Structure 1
Amino acid sequence: MTTTGFDYVITRTLEAPVEQVWAAWTRADRYAQWANAEEVVLDVRPGGAWSSVMVIPGGTRVPLSGRYTEVVENKRLVIGMNVPGREELAIMTLDLAADGDQTRITLSQTLGSVEERDQSEFGSNMLLDGLTAFLSAA
Structure 2
Amino acid sequence: MSTTGFDYTITRTLDAPADRVWAAWTVADEYAVWASAEEVVLDVRPGGAWSSVMVIPGGARVPLTGGYVEVVENKRLVMGMNVPGRDEPVLMTLDLTADGERTQISLSQTFDTAEDRDQAEQGSNFLLDSLTTHLAAA
TM-score for the superposition, normalised by structure 1: 0.98
Stretches of structure 1 that go unaligned for 5 or more consecutive residues are none
Stretches of structure 2 that go unaligned for 5 or more consecutive residues are none
CA distance in 2, matches of 1:51, 1:134: 21
Deviations 1:80-138 (A, max 9, x none): 00000000010000000000000000000000101100000000001001100000000
1:93 matched residue in structure 2: 93
1:12 matched residue in structure 2: 12
Question: Which residue type is aligned with residue 84 of structure 2?
Answer: P
1:131 aligns with 2:131: yes
1:49 aligns with 2:49: yes
2:22 matched residue in structure 1: 22
1:71 matched residue in structure 2: 71
Question: Which residue type is aligned with residue 119 of structure 2?
Answer: Q
Question: Which residue type is aligned with residue 79 of structure 1?
Answer: M
CA distance in 2, matches of 1:49, 1:2: 24
Q: Secondary structure at the match of 2:78?
A: strand
Matched-pair contact (CA < 8 Å) for 1:2–1:111: no
RMSD (Å), alpha carbons:
1.1
Structure 1 residue 4: Cα displacement: 1.9
Q: Secondary structure at the match of 1:86?
A: coil
| Count of equivalent residues | 138
Question: Which residue type is aligned with residue 117 of structure 1?
Answer: R
Question: Which residue type is aligned with residue 124 of structure 1?
Answer: S
Identity of paired residues, percent?
74
1:80 aligns with 2:80: yes
CA distance in 2, matches of 1:3, 1:44: 28
CA distance in 2, matches of 1:53, 1:42: 12
Runs (4+) of structure 1 moved beyond 6 Å?
A: none
